[in-house]
Each structure stands twice: as C-alpha cells, then as structure tokens.
C-alpha cells in the first residue's frame, strides 16, 4: 500500500488518482457486464482514506468524507463523459456512480472497524 519498502505513504494526490483509476475500471466493468471485481478499487480506497486521515486528522477526514465522495463522483463522471461518450449516458442511467463510490467507501470503513 505504501509503495516501496522503507518508504512512507505516497502523497495524497497520487493515492487519490490511483483510487479514481481503480474505481473507474471497476465501474466500467460493472456497467459493461464484464466480471466486475471491486478488490483493487477497495484497496485503493483504503489507501486513499488512510492517507486522508493521516493528513487531515481522523475527525476532519470523517466530517468531510461525504463532500469528498460527491466531489470525486463529479470528477469521475466528467472524465467518463469525455472518454466514453458513446456508452456513458446509458451506464450512468443504469448504475449510480456516486452510489457505487459511497458503497466502496462504506465497505472499506466497515472492514477497518
């Protein structure tokens, strides 16, 4: 999770980008009826949430999580609309991106408690 052995946690923007990429792959697989396994998305989410907690403090990170998920969902939807114009409207109509993103964060939090 932290990169190379002996190296501290990766910077927040780096782990945030990793999470966005992993979640996007999971979401596209889910919507396209491929076998969608959330493992990598959950792992990237756990790393991202952990780095946020370390940088912001647990209380602030938890307080701001709902807003961050909404912000991430908006960014992801924008990216998907640009890169997958031909299918994304159908995907977004059939599967809530923000709902799946929240589900991912809740699953990670549940595993951590």
Any idea where the domains of the chain sit in the sequence?
12-112
Per-residue pLDDT, 1: 46
Comparing CA positions, the residue from 1, 19, 22, 21 lying closest to residue 10 is 1
Q: What is the mean pLDDT of residues 82-91?
A: 92
Rounded mean pLDDT of the chain?
91
Per-residue pLDDT, 8: 66
- CA distances for 62 relative to 31, 55, 75, angstroms: 29, 12, 20
Q: What is the mean pLDDT of residues 44-48?
A: 97
More confidently predicted of 50 and 6: 50
- Round to whole Å and give the CA distance between 20 and 22: 6
């Amino acid at each position: 999770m932290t990169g190379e052995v002996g190296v501290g946690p990766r910077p927040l923007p780096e782990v945030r980008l990793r999470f966005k990429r992993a979640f996007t792959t999971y979401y596209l697989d889910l919507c396209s009826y491929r076998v969608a396994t959330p493992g990598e998305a959950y792992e990237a989410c756990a790393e991202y949430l952990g780095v946020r907690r370390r940088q912001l403090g647990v209380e602030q990170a938890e307080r701001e999580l709902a807003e961050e998920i909404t912000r991430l969902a908006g960014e992801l939807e924008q990216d998907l609309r640009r890169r997958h114009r031909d299918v994304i409207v159908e995907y977004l109509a059939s599967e809530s991106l923000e709902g799946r993103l929240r589900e991912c964060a809740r699953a990670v939090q549940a595993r951590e408690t």
